Structure 1
């Protein structure tokens, strides 16, 4: 979100639809999340269930006598077994009827070698609905589906491809393709949707959530996001996904948006966002764009969440690259690590920290931005016609560390680090490599510096940094940011600790070798 007006719409919208959703769920929040098979404990007569478009829901669900709907298959399956879906298109809103158990998962997947599509084509959307719903259940796997074509133009509706909510735990979403999830109402009507939506909306935390190797693309999400983790989620991993050609934000871990009525529960915590590829995320796309003038859509966004690790991701050609920002009062983003990522060709800032200027009291505290490669961002001017820069700090940045990064701006922009406002304390900048083929500008407390020594004095040191030394990328023309053997970034960084710098670089190779570390994302 990038303006007060848009932030207002987003918060009012979430307050309406999500509190409605919470009211429905809270009544059943005491229901056991391990209420698995309706067969007596110890009964061993389980079996896999088969679904086929030419089946019949009065059948037994065997391979020879399949049922015709996925929902019927989920009703019949017992913990430890799989619902296999034969190839074809299934136009139904899918919901899990029961839980698996720790040693007996319930798995939903296509039959081997066949393509199964869960389609919302022609299905209505009323209020807050998903094409696939995982609500108050546990030990569930959804693996390998196309989940698509769920659309609405209804005002104030929220449309999701997959939603996980209601205190669910031990949920795996793997190798699904989620696309054409669209809310096409006018922006002023609170347009919202999500490709994948993980929402902790009860007093029971969502835990052990794994979202891996999915593709989320071609979604119109309005003021919301393509892959969202919001509210009371404690322990998750979002890894090896591709999120692209989407409206507004790519991946977000959020807090402060009325997902949960209890403020102490209302933020995401203790998660990993790793090895994802995010590109072509644009707030100006869609039939009715969310943002008309500027593309502020962030590729990977930590917004009011805590203790989140963002590592080894590639973010390119989006509004902004990676944000560890807060839009909401009393929900600062804090104790996060952004490391070993590559960010390039974004419209505005490469890596963004702090609260929105003149908007909220949120900020960024005790975070690390280390060993990233940021290259040729700030293609466009920002909302006040400013160059946001490769790394940008705004309101209420405190006790953060910016270290061991390779920072390489566009020659006509030239802004390495932009601390755009006064205020904030104890922010450490050091051991970076700055290189520009044109302008060289640093900004601290909204004062620009073109002299490296004056910059160092202004920011309080910047010890160990290099300026004007070409990092010698293998081939920047094709965005290969590996380092040549003679690179001045090689083994010239500073080791903080394996816990902060990480144990592997962008390629998964050993990050610290003989107690030496290189600047940038690659060792």
Structure 2
């Protein structure tokens, strides 16, 4: 099956987490499999190891790694500076693999680890078979980190893990085969832990094992998760949970989250440990054919010492679910398409969504909700106000084309959007007399 890749960035979306494009103004150094760490590091006299380069360079330097396989762990502790990033990059047009075969990492370590350093870019590598994390950012207070254009495969734990950092960009990476530990580690495929300011975009995440695909957790705030193509494991494609901390201002938009097995969910906002999450905007996403719910507000907190008992603790407030297309989720028969299961949640708005042919209820809620102008196709559950029913008349849903046809009842039936003023393709809303319902404007 072919699914369209997300490409457009809504111009109306604020950019609280954007990291300036890295600039390297210093000398260029080279690493090659036939080099020597006693060399000068020039193109004609390259170093042998990436680690030697990391131990040598200064702010503004560029490290080009030539094609080949490097069986080493790389730890980066030297920082760049504003306008003078340290950039580690595969040489253009060459394939560079950093292979963890036979390298035993301790827990909470990465095959590539940025340890307390800032103003760093990692670009273009194949990061393979890490015995813990593929690429890790942690230690101290790292900031202004750009992880882009990497292929990460076979990590025991997370493919990418970022902790207690700020101004983080994770862009155009492919993460697959991660979390080989299964239930043996608590991290996710892409984990953001207490991160302030993040931009996770244009990534392909698929064929991983038994955990959330992207998790912004434990206070991770002021960030965006967008234009990713995610095939979940038997868990959520995008998950947000403050645990015991305070978390706010996260936008999740223009993602494709599809064809997850078992108990996979598309997008979930939840409380697990009594914390607070608020000001979350979920819009213009395509969420289809996942095993469980499409979009869900939920709770998973354990009560006291009894891990088998769920309790209502924590705060979920001001959640906007707008202009999404949610189709044929919940094959295992849990709840349905768009669900609010948390009775203490407040100010949840569910508006202008197409919710079609999900098993169970299309929309089902408890708590404080505003539900309006949704197109409901299938068993209704909760309808709200100004809803319409009937087939949305997608162009070709079996091939992942959820544009609407000219005869769709979704046309001109939406409420004025709070944030989704362009559609999934970047087309301005409205195109006709009024706003359309769903991720696409006709």
CA distance in 1, matches of 2:187, 2:58: 36
Equivalent of 2:143 in 162, 166, 169: 169
What is the Cα deviation at residue 514 of structure 1? Answer: 6.6
Provide Cα deviations, 1:245-295, integer angstroms capped at 9, x if missing partner: 11211001001xxxxxxxxxxx1110000100100x22xxxxxxxxxxxx3
What is the Cα deviation at residue 46 of structure 1? Answer: 4.8
CA distance in 1, matches of 2:436, 2:162: 36
CA contact (8 A) 1:495 1:515 kept: no
CA contact (8 A) 1:354 1:364 kept: no
Unaligned runs of 5+ residues in structure 2 are: 1-24, 302-308
CA spacing shift, 1:146–1:515, aligned 2, 3 Å: farther
CA distance in 2, matches of 1:483, 1:101: 48
CA distance in 2, matches of 1:348, 1:213: 27
Residue equivalent to 1:141: 121
CA distance in 1, matches of 2:168, 2:427: 26
CA contact (8 A) 1:325 1:332 kept: no
CA spacing shift, 1:60–1:344, aligned 2, 3 Å: same
CA distance in 1, matches of 2:430, 2:162: 34
Residue equivalent to 2:387: 465
Please state whether the residue corresponding to 1:219 is helix, strand or coil. Answer: coil
Residue equivalent to 1:36: none
TM-score in terms of structure 2 length: 0.86
Residue equivalent to 1:13: none
Residue equivalent to 2:348: 400
CA contact (8 A) 1:47 1:77 kept: no
CA contact (8 A) 1:271 1:307 kept: yes
Unaligned runs of 5+ residues in structure 1 are: 1-44, 152-158, 183-192, 201-205, 256-266, 283-294, 382-386, 443-454, 457-461
Please state whether the residue corresponding to 1:336 is helix, strand or coil. Answer: strand
Please state whether the residue corresponding to 2:213 is helix, strand or coil. Answer: strand
Residue equivalent to 1:435: 377
CA contact (8 A) 1:46 1:77 kept: no
Matched, 1:391 2:343: no
Residue equivalent to 1:299: 237
CA distance in 1, matches of 2:335, 2:375: 18
Residue equivalent to 1:217: 176
What is the Cα deviation at residue 224 of structure 1? Answer: 2.2
Please state whether the residue corresponding to 2:208 is helix, strand or coil. Answer: strand
CA contact (8 A) 1:354 1:362 kept: no
What is the Cα deviation at residue 487 of structure 1? Answer: 1.0
Instruction: Determine which structure has the larger helix proportion and give its number.
Output: 1
Equivalent of 1:85 in 65, 78, 84: 65
Residue equivalent to 1:519: 437
Equivalent of 2:255 in 280, 295, 313: 313
CA distance in 1, matches of 2:57, 2:121: 13
CA spacing shift, 1:504–1:441, aligned 2, 3 Å: closer
CA contact (8 A) 2:330 2:360 kept: no
Provide Cα deviations, 1:329-349, integer angstroms capped at 9, x if missing partner: 1x1321100000000111110
Larger RCO of the pair (alpha carbons < 8 Å, separation 6+): 2
Residue equivalent to 1:485: 406
Matched, 1:250 2:213: yes
Residue equivalent to 1:409: 357
CA contact (8 A) 1:348 1:377 kept: yes
CA distance in 2, matches of 1:353, 1:333: 11
What is the Cα deviation at residue 143 of structure 1? Answer: 0.7
TM-score in terms of structure 1 length: 0.73
Residue equivalent to 1:197: 161
CA contact (8 A) 2:295 2:337 kept: yes
Of structures 1 and 2, the larger Rg is shown by 1
What is the Cα deviation at residue 125 of structure 1? Answer: 2.2
Residue equivalent to 1:359: 310
